[in-house]
Chain A
Amino acid sequence: MAFSAFATGTAQEQAPRRKSRIALLLLLPGILYLVLFFLVPLVSLLITSLQAPSALGDIGAYQTAFQWQNYVTSITQYGGQILRSFFYAVLATVFALIFSYPLAYFIGVKARSWPLLQNLMLVLVIAPFFISFLLRTLAWKSLLSDESGFVTGLKALSLLAPDAHFTGTPVAVVFGLTYNFIPFMTLPLYAALERLDTRYLEAGSDLYAHPFTVFRTVTIPLSMPGIVSGVLLTFIPAAGDYVNASREFLGGTGTSMIGNVIESNFLVLLNYPAAASLSIILMVVILAIVTVYVRRSGTEDLL
């Protein structure tokens, strides 16, 4: 699994004891780079989040301080957007899981006898990656706009609620988040289901278990690593996204998420402390959710 890619298990045991000076030379440039452009930025975010407006009162000028009240202000001012972000992200993750599981199951288990078809379907699943993220969201905006004939078509197929307005609503934003992150869910699920030993399923049905019981007690637990990876890969970017919810894309006035607030505070209002404190809040909440989730789903070795 992707999240176990950095686990220090087997590689460490296999790694021979060799000149560590070479290891240092190999590691140093890259690690230094990450320290400089990943860790230091997080520290600057923390410092910025505690800054106070400069004494001169210029817009966009701040001085170092320890104004922890910035966090209180951010939470009281943008509590709605923070909650909305996580609510939308949870919905998108759940929908993506429901959408992707049967798809990944068919590709990973049912289609095993036809490797060529399996590969073709995988290419189709990742195909959306190759077209610009923004353009595919804009494509949905046009397709789902009130004037488009496509909306009425979908309504006839009852794939859409018979709502006159679609773009600009929370439904559209959650739809966009779900669509854009479906491949993140499908691929890890596929990777887990592809390894599923179907003899366990046979054993289940040989013991007269109902197909649903087999699915619930055998298939789901065995594909749990894929579910956990997929949920994390969908939830994290969905919670921080601000493209889908932005007014130029699928969102409206009442749909802005924490990402939108961070963007507008940082790039438009030049209120850096607010943007920084919101970023720290987002990161802390996500790390907390990820830790709890991974613990509870019983796959601690994933991280």
Chain B
Amino acid sequence: MTLQEGLAIATAVDTPKKPRAPRQRFSLGSWLLPVYTALALVFLLIPIAYTFIFSFNDSIKSNISWRGFTLRNWINVCNAQDVCSAFGNSILIGVTATVIATTLGTMIAIALVRYRFRFRSAVSLLLFLPMATPEVVLGAGLAAEFLGAGVEKGIGTIIIAHTMFCISFVVVTVKARVSSLDPALEEAGRDLYGSPAQVFWRITFPLLLPGIVAAALLSFALSFDDFIITNFNSGSATTFPKFVYIAASRGIPAEANVIASAVFLIALVLVVSQQVSAAARRKRLARVG
């Protein structure tokens, strides 16, 4: 996932649902739009289907033409060793960057909603700009800084870079949650003589948790799929996308398709289960209301 993808997701997640509209009758041809939508969605899914299907290809070196079905690639993913170590690096970088960015971003989000302070618009601008800057500029800028400071590039510099671009997305995602938090709940905690720490950890934090989890998942996804910024700041270290980029000229091993497909399936399960639980929660709320 690239930065703007994250922003696009954050946009859609942020949208409150309008009450259900009555069935509409204005249509330019009542079948034209549904058919177009179905075709458009199929079109969007073509490369995914291709990647998934070719993860089962009985390929020898390059995975371009279909040579027969096999489960070998799925069973022995780590046969292509460099794929697996690149994948491991991506997980390590993703988890570390996510933990740091989620912590820093959540703190900023709370401060933005709950406190008044000077230079507020400057802070907002500083948070907005990384999302509006092309990734190639972010990547080249950091690389120029590391070069000037004489820092050797590697996994550490990749983590620094990923944390940087994840913070803004964490702030956007968590801020929405903080704004919707009812301050009366925390007041109640204070009225019952809860210490500030108790009020935070037993009331505020649990209520913010869904937003924080969403932000962490978004960060991880952004970090995991980032290539452009990584490429400038990785030195000799490889991540999964960088492995794919380097391998592209000589042919991608089918194991890379296996990893991408597995990640895809996990992400899909996470999103669908989140949707289902959100729908269930809405239903419960509707019943109570």
Contact = CB atoms under 8 A, between A and B. Distances in A.
Contacts of A147: 65
B136 A262 contact: yes
B142 A41 contact: yes
Contacts of B37: 102-103, 106-107, 121
Interface stretch (B67-75, B202-210, B265-273): B265-273
Contact of B117 (A14, A23, A135): A23
A248 B62 CA distance: 14
Interface in B82-112: 104-105, 107-108, 110-112
A15 B115 CA distance: 5
A133 B171 CA distance: 24
A18 interface: yes
A256 B119 CA distance: 41
Contact of B11 (A109, A123, A229, A286): A229
A105 interface: yes
B44 A181 contact: no
A169 interface: no
Nearest to A10: B179
A18 B257 contact: no
A110 B275 contact: no
Contacts, number: 350
Given A23-B117, A31-B126, A283-B137, A242 B272 contact: no
B138 A38 contact: yes
A222 interface: no
Given A16-B114, A123-B271, A133 B147 contact: no
Interface in A141-198: 142-143, 147, 179, 181-184, 187-188, 190-191, 194-195, 198
**Secondary structure class of chain A's binding surface, majority of residues:** helix
Contacts of A128: 44-45, 47-48
Interface string B155-191: 0000011011001000110011001000000000000
Of listed A40, A126, A188, residue having the most chain B CB within 10 A: A126
A208 interface: no
A224 interface: no
Of listed B23, B126, B261, residue having the most chain A CB within 10 A: B126
Interface residues of A, number: 119
Interface residues on B, range: 35 or more
B14 A262 contact: no
A202 B26 CA distance: 8
B244 A211 contact: no
Given A2-B14, A27-B117, A37-B142, A248 B245 contact: yes
Interface string A99-125: 100110111011011011001011111
Given A26-B115, A106-B36, A115-B20, A37 B164 contact: yes
Contact of A22 (B23, B115, B133, B275): B115
Interface in B117-157: 117, 120-121, 123-138, 140-145, 147-148
B115 A134 contact: no
A91 interface: no
Nearest to A64: B148
A92 interface: no
B272 A243 contact: no
A71 interface: no
Given A20-B115, A133-B1, 18 more contacts: A16-B114, A18-B116, A30-B167, A30-B171, A31-B126, A33-B163, A42-B141, A113-B20, A123-B268, A124-B41, A124-B44, A129-B1, A139-B51, A211-B28, A233-B4, A237-B2, A249-B248, A275-B140
Interface of A: 1-3, 5-8, 11-12, 14-20, 22-24, 26-27, 29-31, 33-35, 37-42, 44-45, 47-48, 99, 102-103, 105-107, 109-110, 112-113, 115-116, 119, 121-140, 142-143, 147, 179, 181-184, 187-188, 190-191, 194-195, 198, 201-202, 205, 211, 214, 229, 232-234, 236-237, 239-243, 248-249, 258-259, 262-263, 266-267, 272, 275-276, 279, 282-283, 286-287, 290, 303
22 contacts: A2-B131, A5-B128, A18-B116, A27-B107, A30-B107, A38-B130, A38-B138, A44-B144, A44-B147, A45-B137, A48-B147, A99-B40, A102-B40, A110-B27, A119-B275, A124-B45, A125-B44, A135-B51, A190-B12, A229-B11, A276-B144, A290-B132
Interface of B: 1-5, 7-12, 14-15, 17-18, 20-24, 26-28, 33-34, 36-37, 40-41, 44-48, 50-51, 54, 64-65, 104-105, 107-108, 110-117, 120-121, 123-138, 140-145, 147-148, 160-161, 163-164, 167, 171-172, 175-176, 179, 221, 225, 227-228, 231-232, 240-241, 244-245, 248-249, 252, 256-257, 260-261, 263-264, 267-268, 271-272, 275, 279
